[in-house]
Amino acid sequence: MSLREVIIDIIRRDGPIPFSRYMELCLYHPELGYYSRPREKFGKAGDFYTSSDVHAVFGRLLCRQFEEMWRLLGSPGQMDLVELGPGRGLFGQDVLDWAGKKFPEFAKALRYWLVESSPSLRARLRERFAGDSRVSVYEGLEAAASNCGDSLVMFGNEFFDAIPVELLSRAGELYIAEDKGHFIDRWVQPPHDHVQYLRDYSVPPESRGRVEVAMQSQEWMEKIAHAFAERRGFALFIDYGYTREQQLAGRHLDTLMTFREHQASANPYEAPGEQDITTHVNFTALQGVAEKNGMTSLGLVTQSQFLLGVGQQTEFADAFESCVLPQERAKVAMQLKHLISPEEMGERFHALVLARGIQGGQLSGLSFSR
């Protein structure tokens, strides 16, 4: 049975389902969801690139930032780094390798926790890190956090963009119905808390447009903040997204997209389970719920500003260290440009930095914050 048939059976049995439920099934169905299937999703052979696919310098620079966080925490004997949505573990491997090479004392203190909901990706992670006692793989955040000590850093790269959302228009909230095997839109009265989300963090939909309501992202941020309740540390999330001010200026409305074999589309009903479904992240909403739950927002900067802030102290030696020939340096320079250039990933992606129990100190990644 295909995932399309599974979803249609659910609708016929239970009635129309919220768009968030449809998106959840498409991405995370245990056997047929996009992230549960064994086919490659990342890099050239997959459907999209992440920053870690571009060059190891992304992980190396973040390793340098994590080491600085460790020092600001007082260089504890153990620091727990929890990565949400690690995928294949490429980023984690880069961080651990660079820590061992450049920051031996930090490497001794580092414990790495990978939280991945996909069973197939968890299996790949356990295979990649087999024999590395520093690394543990978990399905849920609560289980991982229960094993962490007092000094905690939490990280996610392109984590929140894959969390299911609700879609609202002036006609109401989108539910998915079916007719003769085809998905069709149904618009219903939205609940009060979804409307309040727009009032607090977003904008009302325009006459012919839609806006996303990221209630599940709110719940995730509450869980993240709860993990810091008895701990000190930092949380860093890098993703493509926007602020409420940008939405008020008419930008970042109806951002839902799909990706398959590096081709973008706006049709989530095509090939359920075989394409990625994603939305831009509302950073205003994430900051708001984090602060309501005891976190402090240290800053929101572009990826360009963040990486420049971290890299400037060594003139990006992390990127070029292994280069011998001029053509090798030229290739790495192009990859670094892809991460930092405003025309590429540098301005589309942002870094949100949160903290709890931190007194004083300035992170290099925020040195270019406006």
Q: For each of the chain's 370 residues, which pLDDT tens digit applies?
A: 899 999 999 999 999 999 999 999 999 999 999 998 876 655 555 555 566 666 688 999 999 999 999 999 999 999 999 999 999 999 999 999 999 999 999 999 999 999 999 888 999 999 999 999 999 999 999 999 999 999 999 999 999 999 999 999 999 999 999 999 999 999 999 999 999 999 999 999 886 689 999 999 999 999 999 999 999 999 999 999 999 998 888 887 889 999 887 788 889 999 999 999 999 999 999 999 999 999 999 999 999 999 999 998 877 778 777 777 777 778 878 888 888 888 778 789 999 999 999 987 799 999 987 6
* Residue 254 falls in which region: left (phi positive, over 0), alpha (psi -120 to 50) or beta: left
256-268 burial string, b = 16+ CB within 10 Å, else e? Answer: bbbbbeeeeeeeb
Among candidate residues 345, 255, 361, the one with its CA nearest the CA of residue 299: 361
- CB-CB neighbours of 252 under 10 Å: 21
246 Cβ neighbours under 8 A, 6+ residues apart: 252
Phi, psi (5° rounding) for residue 158? 55, 45
pLDDT at 264: 86
H helix runs in 29-176, sequence order = 51-54, 57-72, 90-102, 104-109, 119-128, 141-145
pLDDT at 251: 80
First to last CA, the chain: 52
Integer Cα distance of 295 and 290 in angstroms = 5
Instruction: Delimit the domains of the chain by residue range.
Output: 3-309+349-356
pLDDT at 331: 82
As a whole number of Å, the CA-based R_g of the chain is 21
Q: Does domain 3-309+349-356 have CATH number 3.40.366.10?
A: no
With 0.75 as the threshold, say if the pTM is over it: yes
Beta strand ranges found along the chain (DSSP E):
17-18, 79-84, 110-115, 135-138, 151-157, 166-169, 172-179, 182-188, 211-213, 232-242, 257-260, 263-265, 276-278, 281-282, 296-302, 349-356
Integer Cα distance of 103 and 170 in angstroms = 54
Q: What is the signed CA dihedral for 86, 89, 90, 91, rounded to 10 degrees?
A: 50
Pairing verdict, β 276-278 and 172-179: unpaired
pLDDT at 50: 66
Question: In whole angstroms, what separates CA 213 from the centre of its chain?
Answer: 17
pLDDT at 313: 80
Name 176's bridge partners: 17, 185
